[in-house]
Structures are given as C-alpha cells and as structure tokens.
Chains A and B, each alone.
Chain A
Amino acid sequence: MSEDNVIEVEHLTKKFGNFTAVDDISFEVHRGEIFGFLGANGAGKTTAMKMLTGLSFPTSGKGRVAGYDIWTQSELIKKNIGYMSQKFSLYSDLTVKDNIEIFGGIYGMERHAVRRRAVELMDRLGFIAEKNEKVRDLPQGWKQKLAFLVAIIHNPGIVFLDEPTGGVDPAARRQFWELIYDVVDSGITAFVTTHYMDEAEYCNRISMMVDGRMDALDSPSALKRKFGASSVAEVFDILARGAKRSE
C-alpha cells in the first residue's frame, strides 16, 4: 500500500443472495483529502462503507484501510478509523461528557488521554458549556456535531461520515462542513457521503456510484469539464439517469 493512500480497494464486491449491491469497485483515497462518495439511493454507498469500516465482509475483492487488510484485520480497522453512521446513535440519557468518555473507552483509550482529547475537541467544536447536558436535550444539529466528535475521539487516520448533514438546515450544514475542514486540516482524512450537491463541491475528489458500480471519480471541476456540466448536480443527473437527460 502506498504511503499516500489511506484506502486502496480492488474489485470490491458484495452480494445479497443473487442481488449485487456493490459491483466490482476499485479506487484509492489519498491521505489528507476530503473524499466525497456520491450516488443515487440504493447505489451501494452504505454497503461499501460497511466493508471499508470492518463491519461486514465483502463477497469478493480485496482492500486495505488505514494500513490494515479488510479480510484479516477488521478488528484493527475498527479501532483505527472513525465512523459516523447514517443513523448514528449516542446514549441519549447520558451527558455529553459521559458519551465522549464511553466512546473513548470503546476505542481502548486511557482515561486521562480521553479527558485531554475530550477537552480539546469540546473546545474546538464549541461544546464546553453543554458538557453536562443530557444528549436528548440537545438540538439535532448539536447531536450531529457530538456524533462527529466521538467518531474522531481516538484521532483516527480516517473518518467515515455517512450522510452527516441529512435533514440539517442550511446554516447548521455549513457549520458542520467547517468542522470537517478543520478536522481535515489537523491531518484526518474524511470519507463523506451526501445528497447535497453543493457539499460535493467542498470535496477534493468525488466518486459517483451507479447501481453498485463506480462510474466516475475525479475532482469536482474535472468532472464538470468532462461531462460539460455547469454543476456537480448536473453531473449527478447525467450519470444517475444514464447518459440521457430525463427532463
């Protein structure tokens, strides 16, 4: 695996019965980039992400994530990456601080290391005043931020974010992306799915999945040039609905 890549996969495939959810995808994610993982509903993004995060095994294909093999080292992968799922879960009856400590424990961090990192992150994410509040009393946008915070508590090489801004209003979405930028600035690679096409523009590179395949991968500007499109949204349409525009 090249030093510059955090993910390398080849011919990754996942079948459920005779349905192929992820169909022979091969790609790399560079260290320090924001990688946008786009595609229509049911294209296979979450399924692929589960294989990359050690939560499920592929049907075939191979890959390495954060230096570990997805077949033989899935436990190590889980410990060395961060993951915020599409339906993330926090302990809603516990406080912000408790949640952070529990997740730090899950990642096998020492108590004092968790404390130190918790303070650093709560400060960066603006959580200090809320640290003793119960999670269920926080607005949705704050829960989202907290879920992100606990996903990076152990300072992983890469964080996977599955639709982190789903259902979030325009102002809170932008704040969330500034956090992503900030965290990436500190050296963490971000692997993000989103259905907001303006957010796709904030990624260094984006891939587009169609029916389990990866039909395009490049920087937003290169993709726009290649497809003669004025926005990523247009590129998405062209790919998702086949080459013919459906309007």
Chain B
Amino acid sequence: MDSIRVKRLKKGYGRGLPPAVDIREGFSVSEGELFGIIGPDGAGKTTLFRLLTTLISPDEGDAVVQGLDIIRDYRKLRTIIGYMPGRFSLYPDLSVRENLDFFASVFGTSIKENYHLIEDIYCRLEPFADRKAGNLSGGMKQKLALCCTLIHSPEVLFLDEPTTGVDPSSRREFWETLARLRRTGMTIVVSTAYMDEANRCDRVAMMRSGRFLKVDTPSDIVAGFDRRLLAVRSDEMFRLLQDLRSMEEVVKCYTFGDTHHVVLKENAACAPDEIGHRLTGKYGHTGVQVREQAATLEDCYMNLDD
C-alpha cells in the first residue's frame, strides 16, 4: 500500500526565482518505508516537507498522504502526521518534561500512553527532565524535539534534517529508533546531510533544483557508479589535494576523512602505483599510499552533477 502518492507538485516563492519544488515525474512511498531525501541547500527539501505536511499549498499538482488529500483534507491529515522541521520550536522557558507534556496534550494524549515510542531517546534526557529547554546543549534540543514529534504516535513521520548537531553515537541510536518505528508500520520520510544515514534508508531520493534526479535503493545507487576511484594519502594532505587536481587523468578530487578520493577520467589507464610514483618523484610527497577504492553513497553524491 502507498502511504504517500505524489503525481506532480510545483511550488514557487515568486520574486522571479525558479520554483522551489517542481516534481513532474511523481513518486510514491509505501507504508512502513523509510524514505530518505538528500540534496544541497536550496534543493527544495524543506518546501517539499511543508507541502506534504499541509503547511503550505502547491501552485500546481496534488498529493495524497494516508489516503488524505493535502489540500482538501488538511485538518484530518495534520492529526495523523508528525513533522519535525529543521528549526523545531521548543519553549525555552519550559522544562524538558513540560515541553513534552505540552506537545502530548495538544494532541490529546499523554507521555505515559506513548512512552514506549520515545523511550530510547528520552532516557538520555531524563536526568535533565527539570532543566529549562533553553539551557540544553544543541544536540539535546534535537533529541527533545524528536520526542515531541513522536509523542502522539503519528502514522507518517516527516523529519527535516533531524540529526543536525547530534553526536555520532546518539545518531546511531536515533537511527536504531527509526528502524524500530518503521517495523511498527510507521512511514518515515527523512532528509539528511549524512550519507551514512542515507545508507540506512530503504530508498533515497537525490534532490536538486526542486526535482528528484534519482530515486533508488542505496545499494543500486552505489552499484550504478561507473567511474574508477582511487584513495590517496600522503604526509601533506592539503598540498596533495591541489597536486592531485593538477594531474591530467584526474576528473575530480575531494577530501574523504583520512584519504582523498580521486575520480579518474574514463579512459585513464594509469595504475595506482604509477600515480604513487609521480607523487613521490615529481611532486616530492612522502608517506604516499594509493589504492583502488570502491564507491560509497557519498562518492555518488559528490559526482551527481557530472
């Protein structure tokens, strides 16, 4: 069953700018699917979220969420979805528990009733339940915001970059929670700037300039990467970046944690060793290591435009 169905959707903000969302192909998200959206700022992710959560209405096109029309049935729809915007508004003068209580009561429920949904995130905040939300650290605020979004047990969850500012261990827990919610049949649409998170989605949409350039499972996106990739390091990483970019057979070179990833031209026949020798000889690098590298989702993202 489809939880979300979009045929065509267009929304612009005037001022002579191109539309923020301009989906022509249409897409659907199945019930219980974990659907990721990735793309640069200005791709239209937040506008798409606002459309699907009925906060704004489209200029053209329509969409259905859980059988409800985003324009005609917006009142009903609002009660069965949860939306966590990028900048979620907590009440800074209320305590952690009071914020949660407030959001529960708005939806006519209680913390107790749905505690099981938020337990594994909330347990990290519980020691600070009486602290004012305004005095929480950045990442703690994000966790509380997610709890507030979940507390009414929504059927569809929309999360706009929910883990911004959340530390790596907590992000993993957060995604374990999402996986668990998904198993209860909840449909989840989530945007993220973290490719390790996108990897955990059932399908990922790569969005740019208001459109979906590609919608596929992470493994199929990665399998579609058809360039040769090398991982390179030396003792002078910043200079190495410039030197690699100046090489003729290199299309693109970008940092990748403790190595740089190098995309080679299609017909470049050079072996990793050859590049290594050149870096040591001509460019005078020390501690050079060059190896073939399998692509990751992040590499696909970095090479999307060409």
In Å, the complex CA distance between A185 and B242 comes to 14
Q: Nearest Cβ in chain A — how far from B287, in angstroms?
A: 11
Stretch of B24-32, B33-41, B97-105 on the interface side: B33-41
| Cβ of B19 under 8 Å from chain A | no
Contact A167 B169 (CB under 8 A): no
Check A170–B302 contact: CB distance below 8 A: yes
- Of A3-11, A35-43, A66-74, A104-112, the segment with at least 4 beta carbons within 8 Å of chain B is A35-43
Q: Among the listed B136, B161, B168, B302, which residue makes an inter-chain contact with A195, where contact means beta carbons less than 8 Å apart? A: B168
Complex CA–CA separation, A171 to B142 (angstroms) = 24
What 1/0 mask marks residues of chain B from 144 to 171 whose CB sits below 8 Å from any chain A CB? 0000000000000000010011111111
* Cα-based distance from A16 to B302 in the complex (angstroms): 44
- What is the distance, in angstroms, from B205's C-beta to the closest C-beta of chain A? 14
- Specify which chain A residues have a CB less than 8 angstroms from the CB of B138 in the assembled complex: 41, 46, 86-87, 163, 166
A-B contact pairs, 15 of them (CB 8 A): A16-B135, A40-B139, A41-B140, A41-B165, A41-B167, A46-B138, A163-B165, A167-B164, A171-B40, A174-B254, A195-B168, A198-B256, A220-B258, A233-B168, A236-B169
- A228 contacts chain B at the CB level, 8 A cutoff: no
Q: For residue A141, which residues in chain B have a CB less than 8 angstroms away from its CB?
A: 40-41
Distance (whole angstroms) from the CB of A218 to the closest CB of chain B: 15
Chain B positions near chain A (C-beta within 8 angstroms): 38-42, 86, 128, 135-140, 143, 161, 164-171, 193-195, 237-238, 241, 254-258, 298, 301-302
Quick one: given A168-B193, A170-B298, A181-B238, are A86 and B165 in contact (CB under 8 Å)? yes
Say if the beta carbon of A88 comes within 8 Å of chain B: no
Q: A197 contacts the other chain (Cβ, under 8 Å)?
A: yes
Output the least CB separation between A225 and chain B (Å).
Answer: 13
Q: How far is the CB of A51 from chain B (nearest CB, A)?
A: 15
The answer on a CB contact under 8 Å between A170 and B167 is no
In chain B, what residue has the closest Cβ to A246? Answer: B169
CA distance A246 to B86 in the complex (A): 29
Q: Check: A231 CB closer than 8 A to any chain B CB.
A: yes
- Closest chain A residue, CB of each to CB of B131: A19
Asked if B168 and A167 sit within 8 Å, CB to CB, the answer is no
- Given A41-B143, A195-B166, are A170 and B301 also a contact pair (CB < 8 Å)? yes
Interchain CB contact under 8 A, B139 and A167:
no
Q: How far is the CA of A43 from the CA of B168 in the complex (A)?
A: 13
State the Cβ distance, B300 to closest chain A Cβ, in Å.
10
Q: What is the CB-to-nearest-CB distance from B262 to chain A, in angstroms, rounded to a whole number? A: 14
Q: A167-B164, A170-B193 are in contact. Are A41 and B137 (CB under 8 A)?
A: yes
Q: Does A24 contact B (CB under 8 A)?
A: no
Known: A16-B135, A201-B258. A169 touches B167 (CB 8 A): no
Q: Which of A123-172 contact B (CB under 8 A)?
A: 139-141, 163, 166-172
Which A residues lie within 8 Å of B241 (CB)?
Answer: 178
